[in-house]
Amino acid sequence: MKKKLLAGLAVGLMIIGSTGMAAATSAKDNEKESNGVPFAALKGQIDAIQMQLNNLQLNGAIKGEKGDQGVAGPTGPEGDQGPQGVAGPQGMTGLQGPQGLTGPKGDTGPQGSQGLPGTPGTKGDKGDQGPQGVAGPQGGTGVQGPKGDTGSQGLQGVPGLPGKGLVKYELVGHSSNMVNGGAGVIGMTQACQAEFTGSRMCTSEEVMNSANFGSFNPTALAWVRPVVISTSVGYSEILMDASGVKNAGSAGYAGMSCQGWRSGGDNGLSVDKKGSFSLNSCATIQPVACCSPSE
């Protein structure tokens, strides 16, 4: 706005100045007043106006004709960066660059879902036989099969050594220790072994079958075990020993062995030095007939 006012003032002054200068020249030439203004006063106004015009020109209020371009001045300091402009349109895709170096191996990803089974391949060659496995548990017993045919007879074996058969006992004597019928079989055998090593109480058969009598010579009788060969059962029980001695009564065998050689009652089988057998009271104290294995 200020520039417009100054420009207008300059134009007005230029017009007045031009008019005044013409009037001044004419008055000077005629040395007369111009429009009733003395020449000297008019010249002073013209000079004042000229001075104002010069000032206006110096201050740039009056724009003159465009002059030639001057020499470019030095580059001024860099200004502050302006705001970022609007992004332009995307340019054309450039050429593919060379392949970069292979990066480090990444972590293993999660396992994918199982794919569809592929087409079976051709059957391969038979592999080597593997090691034998551990034997399984024994199975249950099967059903018995039919009986087979009888096989042919084998060769006769080598004859074995002759056996000894039953041990034969013979009378060797009588004990020095005398006992009653309740001494028991063990007690009577111990009485024999104290006199004859390996001997025991004789049976009636062993005494009868002995070929040697050794030192058997009791003062009266000696105890022997009965061997029953027959039994008759009726109103009364009758037992017979191998020696031929019989026992009649309800006691039966117990009446011939002092109730199993445990009692001083009843009777027990005895033999004298001649080999005669009889029943004797179990309370009697007498030696024991002793027999040993024959050679």
Amino acid 75 reads T
Give the Cα separation of 151 and 126 in Å (integer): 45
User: In 3-state terms, what secondary structure has residue 85?
Assistant: coil
- List the CATH code of the domain at 169-293: 3.10.100
Q: What is the pLDDT along the chain (295 residues), one digit of tens a residue?
A: 444 433 443 333 343 344 334 333 343 444 444 455 565 776 777 688 678 756 655 555 445 577 688 787 687 688 688 688 688 688 587 688 688 588 688 688 688 688 688 687 688 688 788 688 688 688 688 788 688 688 688 577 566 455 556 789 999 999 999 999 999 999 999 999 999 999 999 999 999 999 988 899 999 999 999 998 876 666 666 788 999 998 765 455 667 899 899 887 789 999 999 999 999 999 999 999 999 998 7
In this predicted structure, what is the pLDDT of residue 134? Answer: 85
In this predicted structure, what is the pLDDT of residue 16? Answer: 35
Give the Cα separation of 182 and 197 in Å (integer): 23
User: In 3-state terms, what secondary structure has residue 48?
Assistant: helix
Give the Cα separation of 103 and 49 in Å (integer): 87
Give the Cα separation of 226 and 185 in Å (integer): 12
Helix or strand run (H / E) with residue 29: helix 2-30
- State how far Cα 282 lies from the chain centre: 80
- State how far Cα 1 lies from the chain centre: 103
* Nearest-10 crossing angle of helices 2-30, 39-58: 150
Cα–Cα distances in angstroms (integers) from residue 36 to residues 28, 42, 43, 243, in the given order? 14, 10, 13, 222
Helix or strand run (H / E) with residue 10: helix 2-30
What string of DSSP letters covers 151-194? PPP-PPPPPPPPP--SPPEEEEEE-SS-B-TTSHHHHHHHHHHT
In this predicted structure, what is the pLDDT of residue 113? Answer: 84
Helix or strand run (H / E) with residue 208: helix 204-209
Report phi then psi at 272, rounded to 5. Answer: -100, -175
Domain ranges of the chain: 2-58, 169-293
Is the whole model's pTM more than 0.75, yes or no?
A: no
Cα separation of the two ends of the chain:
175
